[in-house]
Structure formats: C-alpha cells, structure tokens
C-alpha cells in the first residue's frame, strides 16, 4: 500500500489538512494581528483541502473495492 500513488496522495492531502488546522488553531490561540488577517482565509483553505481529501479517500476506497 505504501507504493500506491493514490494512497500517498491521500496521505499528503490529510497532512496538508492537519497543517492548515494547526496553523489556524495556533493563530486563534495567539490572537493579535495574524489572527485578524488570516483566520478566515485559513478556515477556507482547510475546508477546500478537507473536501479534496474526502474525495481522494472515496476514490481510493472505490478503487480498492473493485481491485
């Protein structure tokens, strides 16, 4: 499974979601100018990345069930 390119892409997408989420939580905890300027943008990016990760997960599961 570690040599499956779709699995690696899915893992990378999940990692991107986690990184964006941690940036958002860190900015919220720190507050200040960074949070005012970037909070909504980070949440939008997280939603987009999460949607892509879910689609990749469903595609991966579909391909695995057919194979």
Q: 22-33 pLDDT, tens per residue?
A: 999 999 998 889
Count structural domains, the chain.
Answer: 1
According to the model, what pLDDT value does residue 49 have? 97
pLDDT of residue 34: 87
Lowest mean pLDDT among 15-19, 47-51, 62-66: 62-66
H-type alpha helices, the chain: 5-30, 32-66
Task: Tell me the residue range of the domain where 59 lies.
Answer: 5-66
Encode pLDDT of 13-24 as tens digits: 999 999 999 999
């Amino acid at each position: 499974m570690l040599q499956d390119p779709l699995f690696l892409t899915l893992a990378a997408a999940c990692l991107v979601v986690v990184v964006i989420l941690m940036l958002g939580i860190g900015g919220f905890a720190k507050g200040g100018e960074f949070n005012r300027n970037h909070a909504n943008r980070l949440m939008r990016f997280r939603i987009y990345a999460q949607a892509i990760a879910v689609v990749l997960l469903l595609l991966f599961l579909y391909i695995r069930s057919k194979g």
